[in-house]
Every structure is written in C-alpha cells, then in structure tokens.
Chains A and B, each alone.
Chain A
C-alpha cells in the first residue's frame, strides 16, 4: 500500500507543482502589470468593488447599525455625566450662536454690498458611506454614488463642515474616497491669515502633516487651513482644519471633518477652475462669449477698449465665483 501511494504521489506532485508554479507566475505578472499600468488594474478593482460591495449592503447596514447601537448604549451608561457636560457646552454655544447670528447678518450685508454671486457651478451630490478600506494601512471609504451619478475621479469630498478626501476610483454605483489621513494623499492648502501655501500630507495618523511650508514661523497653532486650489486639485476655499503643533515640533492639521463617524459625505462637482495662461491678458474669455468682436471702422479705438474691458469681468465673475 505504501508503495502504491508513493507511486501515485510521483504522478500527481509534478502536475500540482506545475499548477502552483503557473499560478505564482500569473500572480507576479498581475503585480507587475499593476505596477506598470496602474489605472487599468485600478479600474478593474473599482469594477470588482462595484460588483461585490453593494451586494453585501443588505447585511452591512444592519450589522453596522447594531454595532453603533451597542456603542450608543455604552455611552448611555454615563448619561448623567454627559448631560452635565452638554449643559455647560450649551451655555457656551448660546454665546457663540449670538456671535454667529451677528456675523451671519454682517456677512449677508457685505455680500449684498459687493453684489457677490457665489460659484453657481459648485453643487454637490450626497452619498452614504458603505464600507471602509478594511485594512489599517489604507484610509479610505466607499460611497454608494458612482459614475451613474456623474461622479468623476479627483472631486473633493466633504462632510457638513470640512474636507474629507478625494474621489479615487469610481465604479458604476460606488466610488472610493481616499481620506486626507491616507499616506497617498497630498492636498495644496493656504493657511490663513498669513497666506502661506503648503501641502497637507497624510501619514496614517489622525492629524496629517503640513509640508512644504515656506516660512513656518508665520504659521501659528490655531490658524485656519483651507484649500488653495493650486494645481487644479480642488476648488479653492474649502475648510480643511486648524494648524497644530505636535510633540516633535512639526506642524500638523487638526481636521475639521468628523472622522470618527463618517456617514454622509458630499461630493463637490468641480469642473476645473479657469487659468490665465497668457501673461498679458488678465481676463479669461468666457467660453462661448464672443469678446473680440469686429467693430465698424468709424468707431475710435479709445472708446472701444474700456468698454470691452468693463464688460468682460462681469461675465467672468460669474464663472470664477
């Protein structure tokens, strides 16, 4: 019997070994292809996620809900303590609310005075977080909106308050948001009030680093960090967070978005900002506007140029916001 088995193994093992070898070669080839032609494989990954994750949704939603319920229940246990905290916070908030109301009114008045039209192109789509990255090494979430809803790669994602991340990988019904805390994330920002520009670079920690600061002396903890719109990555002026100093003396950003519970996220539609490329021309011709129209020859040049100069910014102001 023992001889019999050894014969059988002689026959099956080389075949098996060949199979394993071929499979390993294919896996190595897949890895290499991914390294060389990342977008194609990433598109495949997005399609796979699109096919798999929505199918798990029916189970994910109740389980997530149940776990969150349990966590909430744990927090009910210290209800009275929480109540006291909330009361004191409420007192503070009343004062803030008063200040905010006044500021809102003032802001509205100023906007009215300037006749500002906020960017009409910056609308948003709200999606629900379906799943997270599943690994502690990558910080990303999957939204239940995708190419079907017009989501495109690179669009900014916010929760109600601050920037959360950037769309990277869209399937038909799902889209992946790479969070600002991911090591692959870098976003150009401006720090107010000093006006310094920098990059918010994720490093797998709760507060991403502020890198490429030109003069870090001008930045103090507590300064507001907003997107700068450089490199056409994001629209300008989205709130990212506040600058803080960490223990090693490096500048980091405390994010305004509530990363503890990401549930509903807004994806901002962004079709690119207009860039002035021609160094002489300060005004970008609006698409479709026929600015340099031929004039009748008997009109003088002197009256022509200011008129067109005055008309063009009105058109532009609406586009740029």
Chain B
C-alpha cells in the first residue's frame, strides 16, 4: 500500500531521469571511437515504454520530453524528431493499455515491437523527406531489433528491482481518492 504515496511517485520520477542520465553517460564514454558494425539497443526508449505502460504517473510527458530531447542533443541527432516520435508512441501505448484489463506480456511485447518499428520507419522516412543524411539501413535495423529484443529484460529489471508494476484495483482506488 505504500506504493502510491506522492513521495514515492516523486522518487520514481527522479529515478527515471537518473536511469536515463546513466544510460546517456555510458553512451558518451570515449571507449569506442572506432566505427562499429553493430548498434546497441536504445534503452531509453525501452525504459520509457515499459514505464508508461505500467505506471504512467511515473513518466509524465514533460519529463519524458526533457530526457529524450537531452539525449537527442547530446547524441548529435536531429533535435526533436526522435523525441516527437517516441512521445507519440508512448502516448499511443498509454491510451491503448487499460489498467483494469490484465493483458498478457506477449501481447504487450507485440504492440511495443510494432510501435518501435513504426518509430524507426517514420524516423527514416522523415529524414529522407527533409534530405538529411541517414544512418545506414543495416545499423538502424540492428538497433531496432536489439531494442525490441531487450524490451523484456528492461521490463524484468523495472518490475523486480524497481517495483514498477501495474497497480492493483485497490491501489488505483487509493490513488484516485488522493487526487
């Protein structure tokens, strides 16, 4: 029952930002200045989607935008594009998930995979429409599949270690009553 106190929500918001910052930090480490033929998964997208499906109140849109925009700017990507797509994707997932309905994980994974695919495709299409040089297709493909493949791990990590799981009906009532 201690899950839904406002203090806990604030702490989880801060820890979302901290986790994203940690991911950015490890990406920026100058360990690998050579060209890589593979791409690591985009963990920030995984985290954002897993959390917005489970506890949307932990990832308010403004926090999400702030974190993603920071990543866009630091990683030298076109600013705003990836952020826009991921925010829209998370909103879509959030609107589709019903807190009362227990959906199976396979269904959730499928919808997340679809959203990630659409994000990657839209990103590439927009870049080509605006005549901005794109990354090689193979790299974005590898990144997309890696992101989809790591999604269950991120979910497992957030559920077991951080306790980000869906609210039970009783907890939802408490949260509603407190608002």
Contacts and interface: CB of A to CB of B under 8 A. Distances in A.
A33 to B, nearest CB: 9
A30 B79 contact: yes
Interface in B140-160: 140, 143
Contacts, number: 135
A223 to B, nearest CB: 22
B-side interface size class: 35 or more
A49 B80 contact: no
A31 B40 CA distance: 25
A302 to B, nearest CB: 60
A67 interface: yes
Sorting the interface of chain A by its residue count into under 10, 10 to 19, 20 to 34 or 35 or more gives 35 or more
Interface string B116-156: 00000000000000101101100110010000000000000
Contact of A183 (B69, B133, B179): B133
A184 B135 CA distance: 10
Nearest to B24: A134
Contacts of B39: 136-137
A86 interface: no
Contacts of A53: 28, 74
Interface stretch (A96-104, A125-133, A305-313): A125-133
Interface stretch (B5-13, B83-91, B102-110): B83-91
B25 A135 contact: no
Interface stretch (A21-29, A188-196, A213-221): A21-29
A35 B132 CA distance: 8
Contacts of B27: 134-135
A266 interface: no
A285 B30 CA distance: 46
Given A24-B84, A134-B74, 18 more contacts: A24-B88, A27-B81, A31-B80, A31-B84, A44-B73, A45-B73, A53-B74, A64-B30, A132-B31, A132-B33, A134-B24, A138-B77, A139-B35, A141-B30, A183-B135, A204-B136, A204-B139, A259-B35
